[in-house]
A and B are shown apart, each in its own frame.
Chain A
Amino acid sequence: MPRFSHYEAALGSQLFEKVKNCRVLMVGAGGIGCELLKNLVMSGFNQIELVDLDTIDLSNLNRQFLFQKQHIKKSKAQVARESALKFNPNANIVAHHANIKDPQFSIEWFKSFDIVMNALDNLDARRHVNTMCLVANIPLIESGSEGYLGQVTIIKKGETECYECQPKPTRKTYPVCTIRSTPSSPIHCIVWAKSYLFNQLFGIPEEEDEELDKELNDENADEIANLKAETLALKRIREAMGSQDYPKIVFQKIFNDDINRLLIMEDMWKTRKQPVPLVYEELEKLKDTESQMDQTTNSNTLRDQRLWSLTENFSIFLESIKRLSTQLLAEKMTNPDASLTFDKDDIDAMDFITATSNLRARIFGIEEKTKFQVKAMAGNIIPAIATTNAIVAGMIVMQAFKVLNGDLNECKTVYCSPDRRPKSILSELLNKPNPDCSVCQSVHVTLNVNVKKATLRDFLKEVIQGHDEDEEDVCEVSVEEGGRIIYDVEYDDNLDVTFEKLNITDGKMVKVTPESEDDEKYPTVFAISHRETFESPNTWFHIDGDITSRSRTQVNSNAHKRKLDDSEIDPQEESSRKRPAVIENEVIVQDDDLIMTEDGPQRLIVID
């Protein structure tokens, strides 16, 4: 019997031909990705390209079955490909160990596929693929899972909701002063340990002066000056890295000197509990007396899942600094600019974050946490298991059959949710696009441009305003690329800079939003395609497509109004949009794995 005859019979030979010949792009080779790749090659899909930037970690092995212990630290995309080829040696699988946002994965490249399947674990990449598929007009199957919950849906330009038609919850951010001076909950201590101290000591220290100045007011001038001085002192201390005394110096600085400095600002503690600095020598003494006593207590319980004592935190803090320093110094031997980045699955980094945040919590009278808990909070860990991923991947292929068969109207959003008994799987019809969505309702065109020659001014004059506009007129638009503001009415510093210098190169997307108040129009998204020469000698531009922007008022937007009104827009996010393109400075919980949970009927998303 030929290998796929059962599929051919079940699908019909016409659809099966399409399955065999279609080109599939799979983004992500993690939990869902491993299952999906297996299902695809076992179901007769023959032309698969696979992109994943990640490498294999021990904590993947409880579900990502294409990987085994010997594969740890290797490329997920490549190992997944090799393992899947064993199931079907005839499948044509191309693996890219790369970021899907890399310019090599251009619109033209996306257009070469018949269908795109997301098996991602972060919002940012989902947004990117969503936009690319809209621009390329390729159907996208979007998916995610979290613990026992899973979801699969289809996104098709003009016919369904896109990934951004419903607002997504934004990252939680914390005011700098709360993190640095007046923490009041465990998460404040953890964010301080992870986003501030870890980076100051081992990572790339953030330039924070601007952020601090933003918070400056009459009441906190002393505090701000103090914080700047602290950071400066820490930078000097970093130079002592590797010396015998290094852990002790750091300890004294952050848990004693800095706390004492905070205490001087009496106003701050009128309504708050005063912090109590830790004294190195006292802890050392305490440790000695403890070590003379019986050591067997607690040894049976999991170290990660019980609270550490004060002296344990103390010892682990010193020990982990030593280990992280050694690691960093070793890397600096080969690369003088080396730095460490926080990884929730790195034991030393997690030891450091846990001990540091607990010591800080102790100082401020805040509840301490176990390493297991700290890991969840610092890493925004999403529970993940094999079973849900298997269900989700199976659903993706089911939906793919319908998409390939041209039955988009039969496609469904499918949820797997244990709260909705008696049924384990629910589905609902796909929603129509949200007429107010700034992503899928934008006009998408390809802009051929000589990025070396053309400047922002050229672009605004020639492409946006057209030649007939008055030269002195201020262009009432805002221009963004990858979340950076390049230009708006109040920010024209970049006008005479070329595209290339602005890092707007081949494959990038530039979004232009009309800002004039009386006539609200949809944004236009330009996919940048570099070209050296043009037919007309006086220009650096050529547009593929029509950029006449539709007016928002032309579309009835009542259907989606309520949903949008209900949503909360993070004020932080709002304000950051108005700022010019500089390095982001917020103290932010920096991790991709963000849960997005939305209220209302089963709008539960979707990770991993």
Chain B
Amino acid sequence: MSRPSLPFRFSSVPPPDPQTASSRLAPVDMSTATMLSGGRELSQPPSDGISNLRFSSHSDLLLVSSWDRTIRLYDVGENTLKAEFVHAGPVLDCCFHDDSSGFSAGADHSVRRHIFGSGKEDILGHHDAPVRCVEYSYAAGQVITGSWDKTLKCWDPRGANSSDRALIGTYVQPERVYSLSLVGYRLVVATAGRHVNVYDLRNMSQPEQRRESSLKYQTRCVRCYPNGTGRVAMEFFDLSEAAQAKKYAFKCHRKSEAGRDTVYPVNAMAFHPIYGTFATGGCDGYVNYSKYPTSIAALSFNRDGRLLAVASSYTFEEGEIPHEPDAIFVRNVNEVEVKPKPKALPGPPP
């Protein structure tokens, strides 16, 4: 018997394939979409591409990692920059430990821990290649990092500054790790080559499941649905036929212009902590019908889902070209926008 199935979802880089250009499924209809305000912009944004941003799960603090080699902590309520750490190389990911400390993944192969109050930082350890993503598991009390060296590493944050003490284990992946997501003890790892591995943090010796992404193209981002009772069915941990039958994929971030369809890569996803709906952000600069200056690099809902932080930052999809300055917008979320839409049949599910 299985626990309630936990869905997770992929987003992928779209194809250069003219035959799939029809986008009748896409819900983006610009003529009817209401243009909502993009929200207020934070002052003192990073000076180069934003690699990720995350709201704290206890407060309205926002942690931002950037290609300008910094990791920054903002107080969104006061619109102030509370702390800043400079690395040797670009920072590819960051996450909170608690409100007083956090972790970062660096292109300089290092995994660091930052104490916001004192400005102190420790090195948890190193990978053999740039570290692409970092997650902290409250359930296991571990930091999990994924790197382009094709490994996953688990760290004990208490053992900082002596790598032999901090490192719990190294787990070889089939390809370079591109995205990680956690829910409870479940860990989903998406790598190049469209591999997806699902682990149980309590038994990391081998993946609980090995899958191939159901999408055709490169996996950019993978996120776990926050609770077990999926309202929107996507892809499920549960291997039973019934649960697997529920998975689906839909197209988004497409645009029809003069008979041509432009398909944009999807960079980011964030789940609403209360309603379980989710927002996606792509290289077209749209988040749920609001247009931002450039590609959406990252999204994060705050703890009660009333705020959505949007990193409007060029994601290098077209190489080095001139682009809009990098900015962080924090926008108030209307309940109407995030509440699940009633189903087609009479009587919405309880």
Are A and B co-members of a single complex?
no
Residues of B within 8 A of A (CB): none
